Amino acid sequence: MAERYQVKFLEIGTDKDHVHFLVQSVPTYSVTKLVALIKSITAREIFRRCPQIKKKLWGGEFWTDGYFASTVGKHGDEQMIGKYVQNQGKTYQKLHSDYQLALF
């Protein structure tokens, strides 16, 4: 039986050359596992919808290997983290907010 991952995307936004994901998940999933799942599923969906993109990318890979992640415990302030993400660049654009997504 396949594992089911529940991830709540509180906000997704773009900046000049990167994407911000503000997500909420259960603490049993490591940040590394969540990032790998998000990168894998989004790349697969983008390539499915726009197959021509893969030919234009260096090595055919959509995401770079690196990422930055920060965690907030149960007493953290979601709004503070949201403001931090929005103020990272001059061209931040919110694409999505408060969406429940089931991965797998």
Residues that are catalytic:
84
Here the tokens at position 48 are: 């499915």
- In the block, tokens 């697969």 appear at 44
**Inter-residue contact 5 to 29 (CB < 8 Å):** yes
- The residue written with tokens 């050359």 in the block is 17
Adjacent-strand bridge partners of 94 = 13
Give the contacts of 96 (CB within 8 A, at least 6 positions apart). Answer: 9, 11, 12
